[in-house]
């Protein structure tokens, strides 16, 4: 299974925030949408990614004052991205190697989706189930 199939199933909803928005706004968006990371964009290009872990770090570093600081202070700027054709195994490699749980999907310089570790696990389970089913049919046909 690849990113294209995963996006078809989950939809290409991208929840993003501006680098100038506050950490408090970001926390409210994460909580309201029940998600773990936001794509940070200035409207034209990908500026970074901000996850719940960055907000925890911000609070540990600056205390309550962190809530009024801009997203740009705590986001990760060097974002690892994936493409439409990447397989679940490739996504697992990227997430494990980079120790993060989110991958924006980029095409022609535009973010077209966001894959979370939950999406990858779901896709991998359905792949494994399909493989088991094929194996059962193969054994039964012999």
- d(CA 86, CA 90) in angstroms, rounded, equals 6
- The Cα 40–Cα 15 span in angstroms is 9
The H or E element that residue 54 is part of is helix 52-62
6 contributes a contact to ligand AMP by CB under 6 A = no
Among 1, 29, 53, 124, interactor with ligand AMP by CB under 6 A? 53
Q: Does 114 bind ligand AMP (CB under 6 A)?
A: no
Q: 93 or 129, CB closer to ligand AMP?
A: 93
- 79 binds ligand AMP, rule: CB under 6 A: yes
Closer residue to ligand AMP, CB minimum distance, 56 or 135: 56
Q: Give how far Cα 91 sits from Cα of 53, 85, 86, Å.
A: 20, 11, 7
Selected binder of ligand AMP within 27, 37, 66, 115 (CB under 6 A): 37
**Residue count, binding to ligand AMP (CB under 6 A):** 16
Beta strands in 58-107 (DSSP E): 102-107
The least CB distance from residue 142 to ligand AMP, in Å, is 44
- Binding range to ligand AMP, per CB under 6 A, among 23-31, 38-46, 94-102, 120-128: 94-102
Q: Is 17 exposed, middle or buried (0-12, 13-18, 19+ CB in 10 A)?
A: buried
C-beta neighbour count of 107 within 10 angstroms: 13
Task: Enter the DSSP assignment of 65.
Answer: G
| Pick 37 or 66: Cβ nearer ligand AMP | 37
Contact residues toward ligand AMP (CB under 6 A) are 36-37, 49-54, 76, 79-80, 98, 100-103
């Amino acid at each position: 299974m690849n990113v294209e199939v995963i996006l078809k199933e989950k939809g290409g909803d991208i929840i993003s925030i501006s680098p100038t928005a506050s950490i408090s706004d970001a926390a409210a968006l994460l909580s309201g949408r029940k998600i773990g990371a936001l794509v940070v964009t200035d409207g034209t290009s990908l500026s970074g990614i901000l996850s719940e872990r960055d907000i925890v770090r911000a609070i540990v570093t600056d205390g309550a004052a962190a809530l009024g600081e801009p997203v740009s202070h705590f986001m990760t700027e060097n974002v690892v991205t994936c493409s439409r054709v990447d397989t679940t195994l490739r996504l697992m490699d990227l997430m494990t190697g980079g120790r993060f749980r989110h991958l924006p999907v980029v095409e022609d310089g535009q973010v077209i989706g966001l894959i979370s570790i939950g999406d990858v696990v779901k896709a991998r389970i359905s792949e494994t189930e399909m493989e088991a089913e094929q194996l059962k049919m193969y054994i039964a046909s012999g």
